[in-house]
Amino acid sequence: MSSRFRALLSFFAVFALGAAMPAAADDSDGVHRFATLPKPGPGFPEGIAADRRGRIFVATFDFTTTNVIYIFDRNGRVDETISLPGAVPLGLEFDRDGNLWVANFGGGNILKLTPPFNSGSVPQTFPITGCPGPSLGECGLNSITFDSAGLLYVSDSFGGRIFTLNTSTAASALYVADELLKPAPAPHGFPGFGANGLAFDAKGANLYVANTADDRILKVSVATRAVTPFAESINGADGIAFDSKGRLWVAANQADEVVALNSKGRIVERVGSFQGVGKDGAAKGLLFPASIVISRGDIYVTNLALPLTPAPERAGDEPEEDVSTYTVSRFRIPH
């Protein structure tokens, strides 16, 4: 196990978790609470996806118990729960046939779940060549996307790489490796994740990649596989998604906001802020927004609320330490 991963594991603490309840408005930025993770159960919601029915799938990133994927109906109530023993799920993405694909962060593999999705669902495993598991080493699989041909792409947040997976043949391959995709070396760059969120533009000509530690959005040319900077100074750039107008939405996990970029990489919209922790132990507004998905004109955001500075020497320096109820937020896409 790498020293980086040992350090990451040390950041996770046990928290009490919130009971599922309907959405409620809880800030003045147009951000509403969509869903609350049930308790008892795992916390730290991270990966997110939406199916054709508008249900929202949320994966927990919890190192203290068995992780799950919660399926919320359109009213924010738990519809089904899928248990993932031994897995640390991050990125979620549906293929065109309605199958759900899951990046197993510490396992060096991709998991496939087929409908119907319920408590009896058992994933099929697809190893990624060049990404060892379960000790993680220098590889941490994170975000997933598909190109127009159905080829799966997954980011490696520690190795500065993007892999592909042919979901028909199970053949995986290195797509691109670049220094710009790696996290900045410690103690520079925070949080210590490199290549993270992935999204293709509408034409499929470029693959956009968030580098969390560098606060950057990068662009990979599909024609040449050259990696170039697209946008800078987005504090903790994490999950990304394009809307129907071509704006690239980015979860800025260290700024507690979600921003939209135009075709030049300029910020043209800012949504959300952190407005304290409520009496129920849940963040009001956004706190460590990690992943986003667009569904039916809304953007859904997982509030990871993950404390990252080491305890006990820096105990009390992060609001995430006060969170005991974990949530998913929602806001309408501005016109």
And the tokens for 297? 């004109």
Q: Is residue 214's pLDDT more than 80?
A: yes
Alpha helices in 79-135 (DSSP H): none
pLDDT digits (tens, 9 = 90+) for 2-17: 444 444 544 443 333 3
Q: Is 48 exposed, middle or buried (0-12, 13-18, 19+ CB in 10 A)?
A: buried
The residue among 310 and 58 whose pLDDT is bigger is 58
Question: Hey, CA dihedral for 59, 62, 67, 73, is it positive or negative?
Answer: negative
pLDDT at position 197 is 98
pLDDT at position 7 is 46
The residue among 189 and 156 whose pLDDT is bigger is 156
- C-alpha 146/C-alpha 165 separation (Å) is 10
Q: Is residue 1's pLDDT more than 60?
A: no
And the tokens for 11? 């950041």
Mean pLDDT taken over the chain:
91
pTM of the model: 0.92
The residue among 229 and 10 whose pLDDT is bigger is 229
Categorize the per-residue pLDDT at 135 as very low, low, confident or very high, splitting at 50, 70 and 90: low
Categorize the per-residue pLDDT at 134 as very low, low, confident or very high, splitting at 50, 70 and 90: low
Q: Is residue 295's pLDDT more than 80?
A: yes
And the tokens for 144? 């997933």
pLDDT at position 188 is 81
Residue with tokens 């998991």: 111
**Cα angle: 88, vertex 92, 98; to 5 degrees:** 130
> With contact defined as beta carbons under 8 Å apart, do 161 and 195 qualify?
yes
What is the arithmetic mean of pLDDT over 111-138?
Answer: 89
- C-alpha 244/C-alpha 224 separation (Å) is 26
**Cα angle: 153, vertex 259, 198; to 5 degrees:** 5
The residue among 310 and 13 whose pLDDT is bigger is 310
What is the arithmetic mean of pLDDT over 257-265?
Answer: 98
DSSP per-residue codes, 279-300: TTSBEEE-SSEEEEEEETTEEE
pLDDT at position 83 is 98
The residue among 136 and 234 whose pLDDT is bigger is 234
pLDDT at position 106 is 84
Q: Is residue 224's pLDDT more than 60?
A: yes
And the tokens for 273? 């802020």
Q: Is residue 260's pLDDT more than 70?
A: yes
For residue 69, what are the β-bridge partners?
59, 82
Torsion (CA) 139, 143, 149, 151 in degrees, nearest 10: 30
What does DSSP say about strands 327-332 and 32-36: parallel, antiparallel, or unpaired? antiparallel
Q: How many CB atoms lie within 10 A of CB 267?
A: 15
